[in-house]
């Protein structure tokens, strides 16, 4: 059993308070997160190929995230000057103007609080993703190793599914809205009493009393 370990914020907890320097100026968390969904993602380093592909992918989907009232924020432990030069390089060489801010966590204070630097994987940040809701609560945490780039469409899908779940009091199946079993249906909460459970067994949209699905209107 490990006796000495660092804790990081967990699902459902409030995002920790911090002041950060970004390519768009200073930001205050969680104040600047409230009222919007947020995808905060770290990358190992500027001027690296996998990270560049990710930044381009996030940027190409910027308007899709914006449509979901979701802001994107990048982060690495590089200095802000490095971020600025890298963003300029992406614009000049790949014709992509990065629209979202990038945190310059050059002292590693944010990365340490969020478990983004993991000793067994070196001194750079791993590819962490934190999805934060408009109340400033952490709803999803993902970690990818430095050697594997993320699927940005999956992150976009997760934000969309969380919003649908919150708005309708339902759960979203695997790969929603394209599930192999129930298509674009959502899953309703299981029955909490015997009468409802018995009734649901006879419904066509129920596999059993604990597994019922429906289409959203």
Residue 132's SS3 state is: strand
pLDDT at 2: 36
Tokens for 171?
Answer: 């759960």
Tokens for 133?
Answer: 């809701």
pLDDT at 4: 42
Tokens for 208?
Answer: 């059993």
pLDDT in tens, the chain (217 residues): 334 445 788 999 999 999 999 999 999 998 998 999 999 999 989 999 999 999 999 999 999 999 999 999 999 988 999 999 999 999 999 999 999 999 998 888 888 888 877 777 766 777 899 999 999 999 999 998 888 999 999 999 999 999 999 999 999 999 999 999 999 999 999 888 998 888 888 888 999 999 999 999 7
Gap between the Cα atoms of 157 and 93, Å rounded:
29
Residue 51 among the catalytic residues: yes
Domains of the chain as residue ranges with CATH: 18-150 (3.40.30.10), 169-217 (3.30.1020.10)
Length of the chain: 217
pLDDT at 70: 98
Partners of 125 in the beta sheet? 117
| Active-site residue, from 51, 70, 172, 212 | 51
Q: Are 99 and 59 spatial neighbours (Cβ–Cβ below 8 Å)? A: yes
Q: Are 193 and 201 spatial neighbours (Cβ–Cβ below 8 Å)? A: no
pTM over 0.85: yes
Residue 132, Cβ density class (10 Å: 0-12 exposed, 13-18 middle, ≥19 buried) = buried
């Amino acid at each position: 059993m490990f006796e000495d370990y660092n804790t990081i914020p967990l699902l459902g907890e409030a995002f920790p308070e911090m002041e950060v320097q970004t390519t768009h100026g200073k930001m205050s968390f969680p104040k600047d997160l409230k009222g919007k969904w947020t995808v905060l993602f770290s990358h190992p380093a500027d001027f690296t190929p996998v990270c560049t592909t990710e930044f381009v992918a996030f940027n190409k989907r910027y308007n899709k995230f914006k449509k979901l009232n979701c802001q994107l924020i990048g982060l690495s432990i590089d200095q802000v000057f490095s971020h600025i030069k890298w963003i300029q390089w992406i614009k000049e060489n790949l014709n992509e103007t990065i629209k979202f801010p990038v945190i310059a966590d050059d002292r590693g204070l944010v990365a340490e609080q969020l478990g983004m630097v993991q000793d067994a994987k070196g001194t750079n940040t791993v590819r962490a993703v934190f999805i934060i809701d408009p109340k400033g609560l952490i709803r999803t945490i993902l970690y990818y190793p430095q050697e594997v780039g993320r699927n940005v469409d999956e992150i976009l899908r997760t934000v969309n599914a969380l919003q649908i779940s919150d708005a309708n009091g339902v759960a979203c199946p695997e790969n929603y809205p394209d599930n192999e079993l129930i298509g674009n249906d959502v899953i309703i909460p299981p029955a909490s009493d015997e009468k409802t459970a018995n009734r649901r067994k006879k419904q066509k949209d129920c596999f059993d009393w604990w597994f019922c699905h429906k289409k959203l209107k």
